[in-house]
Structure 1
Amino acid sequence: MNRDMKSKKGYGKDLDLIPVKGHGGKIRYTIKPIDEPFTFDKGFYVFIRALQQLKNNNDGAIMVGLAGPSGSGKTAFSEKVRSFDPNVAVISMDMYNDGSKVVDDNFDDPRLTDYNLLLQNLADLRRGHAAKIPIYDFKSSSRTGFREQPVPESRIVILEGIYALSEKLRPLLDLRVSVTGGIHFDLVKRVMRDVRRSGQGPEEIIQQITDTVFPMYKAFIEPDLQTAQLKIINSFNPFSSLLSTTFILKSSTVPSEDQVLKALADFGPLHTQRKDVDVVDIYLLPPNEDPETCQSWLRMRNREGRYSLMFEEWVVEKPFVVSPRIAFEVNVRVLSGLMALGYEIGTIMKRSSRVFCVKVAGG
């Protein structure tokens, strides 16, 4: 086997390899850590190059740890790898959850992972044996069975999960990869994923994320990500497919109530109610964003004592704005949770509006 440890400039060439003494004193080769973070696409290219070198320089299964916070794009990355080589095996650490150990709905607690079974499965695959992988049901929070995972033809096994680079697992890994996307996008993607997966309402999920998920990330996940040999920044905007143009028509004059009622009367028999509504909008600046250039403000609105959270709200004074149709009703406690994550209050807008509620006869 070629064990040339000299690298050539440019990531299209060979990466630096370093020897590591494995179980039983056997030498295996791994990738020398690269300090420079990569974009999602370039990271994928370097990742594939790393796998090719590891396969050429190591016997048996190549074990890869793919870690990152919830919603960062780990699954999207592993699916991209599978589309490149369908024979790659992907094992989700979520399957090793023990729902009986959940406390206060904190499903991101590292103590929930059945590490004994996980380590046994990885060791079996490394030795060339098939492993029985558990099947976990998210809605019932229970293990429902097992599936057999043979050593794949590609010899590549990707372990995907928020704790995939934990200290317990690192001795078994030939390559360590982190995927992060910044707290703002990670938050939104986690909400979207968990709504589909668990059946919970978005307001419950947002509360759970601000109360437990990201604090757990800071305490337990972020330190492990620093050990990654390849660091990938996923800048995918989760709103990109949801953006729509909203046209706002502004009158050059302020019509009287009589004029408004007369205009509404043209639609037929109506029952009209008038009320004054106070609205307070709190615009939150995502962590590490420049307030002068940021276009991804988070807006928390208080309307008659009810709070809602809207993503990607742009603060503009133009004939039209572009914003997604994503708004969730939330508890006021979410504000303190977001600020603990690094969001800052950029501005507070207060306004009073007279609202005309119209009910069409027969409607």
Structure 2
Amino acid sequence: MERSDSLSESPRKRNGLLRDQVQLVKRKDTSRYEIVPFPEPLSFEKGFFVMIRAIQLLVQNNEGIIFVGVAGPSGAGKTVFTEKVLNFMPSVAVISMDNYNDASRIVDGNFDDPRLTDYDTLLENIHGLKEGRTVDVPSSRIVIIEGIYALSDKLRPILDLRVSVTGGVHFDLVKRVLRDIQRAGQEPEEIIHQISETVYPMYKAFIEPDLKTAHIRIINKFNPFSGFQNPMYILKSPRSLTPDQIKAALGEDQTESNEETYDIYLLPPGEDPEACQSYLRMRNREGKYNLMFEEWVTDNPFIISPRITFEVSVRLLGGLMALGYTIAAILKRSSRVFSDGKATVKIDWLEQLNRRYIQVQGRDRLYVKFVAEQLGLDGSYIPRTYIEQIQLEKLMNDVMGAINQLSEQISTLNERMDEFTCRVEDLNSKFTLIKSSPSQQNLIPSSDTRNGSAPTNLFVSQLGNGTLIPNSSSSNQLSKESPLMEEITVLSRGQRQVIHQLDNLTNLLHEHLVLTRQGNAMSRNRIQEGINMAICPLIILTIGSVGYFVFKSLNRS
């Protein structure tokens, strides 16, 4: 049954310890209990703990067998999660829905079609368990039904606890590919085509709506790359080396070749392009395409890259785009490659960066470091991948563009301040002339009125009222000073805009220069400090200039 139909209102807001957040509520029109759904998804470990706690409460409050449904897309980790529960509670019985798939119903090799499951037999067995027929009932009274459709509308009415396990499209894709290669011996390209054309559409149409009815939603962030113990170690430097220097460091037993590589970096769905470390890369070299699942970490000065590579066709790119991947960058690289079998040294020319780099890479960390030392690269390493370097330079260009825009606005403000100062000095000179003329102490000639001047006694008498406009010529003076006041208003508005731009720039720097990895922390901090050092004097100079001229004009007045 649907969540809205099966649950009464939550008794109270969740708080406190995780075990205390697991609350029971009575189902409508039945005497059985179920837990109040958790509004937010949980991690793998927290979800496991909450599920164990929920099972304990359900066993205490419900009679008979407790049925638990564990569902999720293919490759999300349902089986691993169920095995973890089984290891903790060995007396639990597990029913795999894969055992109820009817092979005669398979159409076009689609093993994820919901019509494949023989629900009649499955429900007959489940009802037999509930009614106590001659079946080996588990001593714990707990039965877990595990499968991609374990939360379907046909099974929901009998489930006391509903659990969903998902892991994100990218890692689910990697895990599904690795699993099917081991199980069925399928080609990676065939698997990915099947996922993009069949599995993923089936998931969106039939599985995902069922998962929303789960009491406990678990996000399995297991990294499939963590199990690879043979990564590539890379040292990168911007120094220039000649081919003869590289040959001398590698010795006589080495080979030389030239490569031209196009790397298409695909951003996984929902990933932040500025923090992503798990791009999917499609590489074109000599007309052959390879799909590279990789994730890199930095252990300064090394870049460590576990990598899984499959040869595919270019048509696969469309299938990946259908899964939600987007092209983040296309990197063209021309390389001169030297190798002695244990380490490879590359002279890379990157078209986008218009720059040359030296790369030393291999499986043996100590040997890679030894070769780099022989080449004299110590102290010049850059612990960033090429895609990170492109992102960093894009960020620098954005920041410099903002600084240039700010400088232009400050220059415009300074020009207006100069004009404002000239007008204030001109006004002060007129007041001085009026004050020094004894013949104009009591009378206001029309010519002076037209020139915007006024008697000193009238001017002084109005100071207490906070105005610089004489009574007898207030209208004429106001009309003459209106452009000046408008200019002052414009200058004030411009100053506020500059301050607003400074705030925006500060926020931009704060957002973009947040450290995504420890390896590039120092370089990004130096960038931010340099920008702050450049901006602060400009701010102080601008505010000081405004204050100085205003104070000067008021003092003269």
TM-score range, shorter chain: 0.7 to 0.9
**Over residues 224-270 of structure 1, what are the superposed CA-to-partner deviations in whole Å (9 max), with x where a residue is unaligned?**
000001111111111112163513465833535x8878988923xx9
- 2:296·2:306 contact (CA, 8 Å) conserved in 1? no
Asked if 1:13 corresponds to 2:11, the answer is: no
Distance 1:122 1:255 in 2: 73
Higher relative contact order by CA 8 Å / sep ≥ 6: 1 or 2?
Answer: 1
Q: 5+ unaligned residues in a row in structure 2: which ranges?
A: 1-9, 342-557
- 1:282·1:300 contact (CA, 8 Å) conserved in 2? yes
Task: Tell me the residue number matched to 1:181.
Answer: 167
What is the DSSP-based 3-state SS (H/G/I as helix, E as strand, rest coil) of the residue aligned with 1:240?
helix
- 1:299·1:311 contact (CA, 8 Å) conserved in 2? yes
Asked if 1:56 corresponds to 2:51, the answer is: no
Task: Tell me the residue number matched to 2:332.
Answer: 350
Higher normalized helix content (fraction of residues): 2
| Residue 209 (structure 1) aligned to one of 188, 195, 216 | 195
Task: Tell me the residue number matched to 1:95.
Answer: 99
| Residue 151 (structure 1) aligned to one of 132, 137, 152 | 137
Q: Which shifted more, 291-300 or 197-206? A: 197-206
| Residue 122 (structure 1) aligned to one of 126, 142, 158 | 126
Return closer, same or farther for 1:307/1:18 CA change in 2, 3 Å cut-off.
same
**Over residues 12-50 of structure 1, what are the superposed CA-to-partner deviations in whole Å (9 max), with x where a residue is unaligned?**
1373323336xxx75221112221211111111111111
Distance 2:24 2:338 in 1: 70
- 2:67·2:160 contact (CA, 8 Å) conserved in 1? yes
How far is 1:170 from its partner? 0.6
Output the TM-score relative to the length of structure 1.
Answer: 0.81
Distance 2:268 2:252 in 1: 46
Distance 1:287 1:65 in 2: 27
Distance 2:121 2:140 in 1: 23
Distance 2:219 2:264 in 1: 29
Sequence identity (%): 61
Task: Tell me the residue number matched to 1:75.
Answer: 79
How far is 1:52 from its partner? 0.8
Distance 1:237 1:264 in 2: 36
How far is 1:155 from its partner? 0.7
| Residue 238 (structure 1) aligned to one of 221, 224, 247 | 224
- 1:245·1:320 contact (CA, 8 Å) conserved in 2? no
How far is 1:320 from its partner? 3.3
Task: Tell me the residue number matched to 2:240.
Answer: 253
Pick the structure with greater CA Rg.
2
How far is 1:354 from its partner? 4.8
How far is 1:58 from its partner? 1.2
**How well do the aligned residues superpose, as a CA RMSD in angstroms?**
2.8
Task: Tell me the residue number matched to 1:111.
Answer: 115
- 1:61·1:128 contact (CA, 8 Å) conserved in 2? no
Distance 2:63 2:127 in 1: 14
- 1:297·1:314 contact (CA, 8 Å) conserved in 2? no
Distance 1:356 1:333 in 2: 32
**Over residues 126-145 of structure 1, what are the superposed CA-to-partner deviations in whole Å (9 max), with x where a residue is unaligned?**
222355xxxxxxxxxxxxxx
Return closer, same or farther for 1:14/1:310 CA change in 2, 3 Å cut-off.
closer
Higher normalized strand content (fraction of residues): 1
**Over residues 132-175 of structure 1, what are the superposed CA-to-partner deviations in whole Å (9 max), with x where a residue is unaligned?**
xxxxxxxxxxxxxxxxxx21111110011111101111111111
**Over residues 86-145 of structure 1, what are the superposed CA-to-partner deviations in whole Å (9 max), with x where a residue is unaligned?**
0101111111112222222211111111111111111111222355xxxxxxxxxxxxxx
Count of aligned positions = 328
Return closer, same or farther for 1:263/1:166 CA change in 2, 3 Å cut-off.
same
- 2:233·2:303 contact (CA, 8 Å) conserved in 1? yes
What is the DSSP-based 3-state SS (H/G/I as helix, E as strand, rest coil) of the residue aligned with 2:329?
strand
**Over residues 157-194 of structure 1, what are the superposed CA-to-partner deviations in whole Å (9 max), with x where a residue is unaligned?**
00111111011111111111101111111111111222
Output the TM-score relative to the length of structure 2.
Answer: 0.54
